[in-house]
């Protein structure tokens, strides 16, 4: 059984994951209309992944006797000055999500909820991976600079960084 504090914190995280999904959907759409086909594919995959992160928590909360809530979401940014600016926004967002997961872990420890603590280890590993991917992409963009042909290749390369979604949520 979840304590009210843990349930509230998990519901907050459900909202954050749903907002992440919206943010990446907005990025996918921006990339698509600006001719970044590979980046758009990457972002479409990311938006699905974030929805999977959200669903995983929804199912966990309900399984443990709580009530997973679907709430209203903050509107994502829809305009980005450049692909670089967009990936900087993505990186900052992932750092924010990692912080939120860490706070959630703190709450589970304070509440002595070791099952939820265990469940969250997957999210900690996932955040490490997502921050690393964002950092790698930003480094590549930095190297390319203003060079158009470099960006063309980058847009092709990024497709290789798309990870397939697991089927067992």
User: In this structure, what token pair is assigned to residue 104?
Assistant: 């959630």
Q: Which is nearer to ligand OFO, 130 or 155 (CB)?
A: 130
Q: Do residues 76 and 26 make contact, with C-beta atoms less than 8 angstroms apart?
A: yes
Q: Which is nearer to ligand OFO, 17 or 155 (CB)?
A: 17
Q: Restricting to residues 124-153, which ones interact with ligand OFO according to CB under 6 A?
A: 126, 130
Per rule CB under 6 A, is residue 7 in the interface with ligand OFO? no
- Minimum Å distance from CB 131 to ligand OFO? 9
Q: Restricting to residues 17-56, which ones interact with ligand OFO according to CB under 6 A?
A: 17, 20, 50, 53
Per rule CB under 6 A, is residue 97 in the interface with ligand OFO? yes
Q: Which is nearer to ligand OFO, 47 or 151 (CB)?
A: 47
Angstrom distances, CA of residue 166 to CA of 13, 56, 68 = 20, 11, 22
Task: Give the count of alpha carbons within 13 A of 99, CB side only.
Answer: 6
Using DSSP, state whether 11 is helix, strand or coil.
helix
């Amino acid at each position: 059984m979840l304590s009210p504090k843990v349930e509230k914190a998990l519901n907050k995280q459900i909202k954050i994951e749903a907002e992440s999904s919206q943010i990446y959907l907005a990025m996918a759409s921006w990339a698509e209309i600006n001719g970044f086909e590979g980046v758009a594919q990457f972002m479409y995959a990311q938006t699905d992944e974030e929805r999977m992160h959200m669903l995983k928590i929804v199912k966990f909360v309900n399984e443990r006797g709580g009530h997973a809530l679907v709430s209203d979401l903050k509107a994502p940014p829809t305009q980005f000055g450049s692909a670089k600016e967009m990936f900087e926004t993505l990186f900052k967002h992932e750092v924010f999500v990692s912080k939120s997961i860490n706070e959630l872990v703190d709450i589970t420890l304070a509440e002595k909820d070791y099952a939820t603590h265990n469940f969250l280890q997957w999210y900690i590993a996932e955040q490490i991976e997502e921050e690393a991917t964002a950092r790698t992409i930003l480094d590549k963009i930095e190297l390319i600079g203003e060079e158009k042909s470099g960006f063309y290749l980058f847009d092709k390369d990024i497709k290789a960084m798309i990870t397939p979604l697991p089927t067992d949520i």
